[in-house]
Amino acid sequence: MRRIIARWRQWLAQGSLSALGLAALAAVLALQWAEPAPLQRVRLQVFDGWQRLSPAPPARGTDQVVVIDIDESSIATLGQWPWPRTDMATLTRRLGQAGARVVAFDVVFSEADRTSPEQLAARLGPQAARALAGLPAHDAALADSLAAVPVVLGAFLDRQGQGRDFEAAAPFTLHGSLPTRDVAQYSGSLLPLPGLERAAAGTGSLTLEADPDGIVRRAPLMAIYRGALVPSLNLEAVRLAMGGFNPDLTTSDGSGETLAAPGAAVSVRLGEREIPVNAAGELWVHFPRTDTRPMLRAAPIITGEMSDAALAEQVRGRMVFVGGSAAGLQDLVSTPMTERIAGVTVHAAAAEQMLAGQFLRRPDWALIAELLLALLAGGALAMALPRLGAAKGAVAALAGVGLAVGGSYLAFARAGYLLDPTAPVLALLAVYTLETVLAFRREERRRSYIHKAFDRYLSPELVRQIAADPGRLELGGEERDMTVLMCDVRGFSRISERYTPRQVIDFLIALLTPLSAILLARKATLDKYIGDAVLAFWNAPLDDPEHPQNAARAALEMVAKMDALNRELASQDKVPWPGAVKIGVGINTGLCCVGNMGSAERLSYTLIGDTVNVASRLEGLTKLYGVTIAVGEAMAARLPGFALIELDRVRVVGRDEPATPYALLGEEGLAGEARFTALHVAHNAMLAAYRAQDWDTAASLLEDNAARYAELGIAGLNALYAARVAKLRADPPGADWDGVFTATEK
């Protein structure tokens, strides 16, 4: 029954830990569902890490995008920006002649060229006007070049409400509601000059929105301008490159999807090519390494330094984006791959993905899948951790974290899915941390209880062992093979009658404290103090395979300590005369019942059994036989090598069966000495003669070896047998005498 109750208590404790772990899991799931800004930043940083580990592969052939860079060296060659429109016309014309598929300008030609003849004439006066009359306008030259090449011009959108209407060259076809909830909306614009806009094949928005941490990760494919959808520069360029199809936008309520919000953007279709976007109409950009895309300097193309053949080799059949990396153009952005790079590269990377049909996707079911995985992983750990323990639980939690993180990376690298491992990782860490901390606190409370319960009864080492492994502590009665020691102070009544109760207590504390320390050092459990007596036992609550030897050595050390204690007590005036304190020790080994015993209101960890009673009787026999330590026959059999002398065959009070007690004189060292060996042989011979009623031989052996008895501190035993032999010689016991002495006192 006790085991069943203990098991139920264990299950209840484990269940409470699991319940708290599930509560922590619920908090993590609620937090993830709310998607606060810090968790969103963590998610984005995870995706950034995957980008750096697995950048987009370099495009090949007609899927490749070439960037013409208006860099610092080009500005040093051609002069400060903006350059004359004739230079831009030369650049456009040469790209068209070299076979560029589409040319997209990440530049807004919103103002007239100040270097154009008509602009100079207006500023310089009539004489200059007459000299410049008839020269072609620079903007007209650029318009002519734009008309000859498929060109997309850029426009900036803002929310200031200024600027003319922006009409897309190819309006969107919309399936579903206008996605006004998430797609960026603008009311103002900075558009190219009307003549340039009419000459170009299309116009697209250049506006890029960075995340709160300043990093651009997505490229918008559309915006809502004054209530109408307009394309981005990259989408408009790809539209022209793929045949000029009108873009077809599908939103969630037009696609039948249920997990996204109504009216959220889902995908853009160009002909047969479907481009996945997020709810805001943005494409997750998978950036390549910066050294894998051709970057051509603008100046050598405009000046003619780059030959037609070399230019054609670089751009024929490919899409070309023109933009600037020069610091003065203020078009540098941060991406997951690099801290500062030209914004045109974002448009180029987005266009390259659309051409190749290779996309990163954050599906609308991703959050549900992440939360479900967190629920399964965190729930499994919460239920299993109390049984696994901290070490195995850590392995399980780390394995779960590894699977979540590794699965997220593989989904990114193999399928282009953006799945966030944060939810399952946080769930596992929260469950493990909370349950481990609570289990640790509970364990500490249990250890503290064990320390408080046992540190006054056990040695510190035993207390540490129980605290480290409480499962080794069996509460309740159990039968065990044990060694029991009873120690009593000789003549205590004569000592105590000379002092006040307070002085007697001081005397007992001064005496029993060092003796108890010896017992504890030898792994004893102190059961109780009975006035001037001490009851101790071994092999419970912890196993002690050497409990007979430990008890014997403890008793010998206690006896050896008495000389020093007598001197200390005499110097402190706690005993009436030097050497007044003597002890007697009885030790027995056998089966005992040990555990928490007593009443429902008060329990005591103690032991009962015949072994305990015999130990008490043995202690009493030490006075009769004039020895300090008496051990039982079973105890003596388990002390091979110790210096033991058989005392007698005696029938103690309360027992019918006779016992054979032994006097413990010393450890193995003494047993090997000649003085003990000689006495041992003579004493055994004396006992044999005594039991054979050979009184003369027994008396002779006692007389001849009296000095040896005295040398080993058992002169009283010699005197006892000498008196017995004399009495029995005078009054023989008869032929039926069995040699057993019957004790009449305890």
> Residue 115 to residues 10, 82, 111, 120, 724: CA-CA distances in angstroms?
89, 10, 11, 6, 143
Burial class (CB in 10 A: 0-12, 13-18, 19+), 570: middle
pLDDT at res. 121? 52
**What is the pLDDT at residue 579?**
67
Q: How far apart are CA 337 and CA 562, in angstroms?
A: 82
Please report the pLDDT score of residue 287 as a whole number.
Answer: 92
| Confidence (pLDDT) at 5 | 42
CA angle, corner 12, sides to 10 and 17, nearest 5? 95
CA 597 to chain centre: 42
Q: Tell me the torsion sign for CA atoms 222, 223, 229, 233.
A: negative
Distance CA 632, CA 646 (A): 10
pLDDT for 478-494, tens place per residue?
Answer: 899 999 999 999 878 87
d(Cα 361, Cα 218) in Å, to the nearest integer? 11
Residue labelled with tokens 């045949």: 243
Retrieve residue 19's tokens. 């319940």
pLDDT score of 452:
63
Asked if residues 587 and 551 have their Cβ atoms less than 8 Å apart, the reply is yes
Burial level of 704, CB count in 10 A (0-12/13-18/19+)? exposed
Backbone angles phi, psi at 465, to 5 degrees: -65, -45
Query: Dihedral of CA 281/282/284/287: which sign?
Result: positive
Q: Which of 127, 431, 416 is nearest to 275 (CA)?
A: 416
- Specify the DSSP element, H or E, that contains 649: strand 649-651
pLDDT (0 to 100) of residue 471 = 54
- C-alpha dihedral, 26 to 32 to 37 to 41, nearest 10°: 120
pLDDT of residue 542: 85
Identify the residue whose tokens are 């210096």: 643
Confidence at residue 132, expressed as pLDDT on a 0 to 100 scale? 52
Low-confidence ranges of the chain (pLDDT < 70): 1-15, 117-136, 255-261, 443, 446-476, 577-579, 598-603, 745-746
DSSP string, 514-555: HHHHHHHHTT-EEEEEETTEEEEEESSSS--TTHHHHHHHHH
Give the span between the Cα atoms of 4 and 14, in whole angstroms: 15
Predicted confidence (pLDDT) per residue in 144-189, tens digit: 999 999 999 999 999 888 888 888 999 999 998 999 989 999 999 9
Say what the pLDDT of residue 113 is: 79
Q: How many other CB atoms are there within 10 angstroms of residue 497's CB atom?
A: 9
